[in-house]
Structure 1
Amino acid sequence: MKSKIVWFITIIICFLLQCTILNLISIGSITPNLMLILTVSMGLMRGRKMGLWTGFFSGLLVDLFYGSLFGFYALIYMYIGFFSGYAHRIYYDDDIKVPMVLAAVGDILYNFAVYGLQFLLRGRLGLHTYLFRIILPEAAYTVFLTLIVYRVFRFINYRFMDIARKESESMWVIK
């Protein structure tokens, strides 16, 4: 129960930071995607199921406050969290390169999904402009923030969510 409360509070704090402080440090109207970093981190550290649920609730918050189509961001974040959870048993979560690569790939896929479903279907065909002015700078900025924030998420995971992690790694628990 304690780990679920800490997990929920982490999602709320990251959303508040995404909406307030990260908008203040935006460079050329490009802000890093902290909710995506949280989703990738939880998927990598805790597995597919936790990545999926983290992505769902993160995307749900984005949908509630900023989305025009309800459930769109929740679906994208869910997929990113679920697929980043595949790396849970393959890679060690103390290596910083894996979350950086997962955050970069996740951010690029996220932005292509947003472009394809919100711009391309409306007839706006400026993919070259969108790619070089929004997608790649945001991915680079998100990867840079991953260097800093991932260690905080890893500390929270091992300090406050340790009980559930030990249960999920037990060979006696069937998934």
Structure 2
Amino acid sequence: MTGFLCGLLIELCYSSIIGLYAFIYMTIGYLNGYCHRIFVKENLTIPLILVGLSDLVYFFLYYVFEYLLRGKLNIGFYFIHKGLPELIYTVIVSVFLYKLLNIINDKTEKKEEEEGF
């Protein structure tokens, strides 16, 4: 649901096509939600793999709907110049954000334990 709603918000603000981003984000959200069973908070590997795979799914679906259906068949060029730099940037940023959010979550849980929740 979150992916679908976020995709619709992006489309309302920036896109002339309704449904593309909602479909892409909904698919990514479903796949990540399905992997929730194997998630361990202390292990950084699984979230980074999921972020990388999510970015690849986003790249592939966006390529199919925006370029391939318009006859632009050079996926290698598009991946090297747009997909790969975006993938590297996203994974690097997610390392720092994951650690920051983990620290915030730990402090919040400690505060809740002290208050007796």
**Matched residue, 2:24:** 76
**Matched residue, 1:112:** 60
**Matched residue, 1:94:** 42
| Identity in percent | 40
- Structure 2 stretches lacking a partner, 5+ long: 110-117
The 5 Å alignment of 1:7-22 reads none
- Root-mean-square deviation (CA, aligned residues, Å) is 2.1
**Matched residue, 1:136:** 84
> Which consecutive segments of 4 or more residues in structure 1 shift more than 2 A?
151-160
TM-score by length of structure 1 reads: 0.56
**Matched residue, 1:60:** 8
The 5 Å alignment of 1:31-42 reads none
Larger helix proportion of the pair: 2
Please give the per-residue CA displacement for 1:38-78, whole angstroms capped at 9, x wherever unaligned: xxxxxxxxxxxxxxx22122212211122221121111111
Secondary structure of 2:38's aligned partner: coil
- Structure 1 stretches lacking a partner, 5+ long: 1-52, 161-175
Query: By how many angstroms is 1:137 displaced?
Result: 1.2
Paired letter, 2:55: D
- CA, structure 1 residues 74+153, in 2 after alignment: closer, same or farther (shift >3 Å)? farther
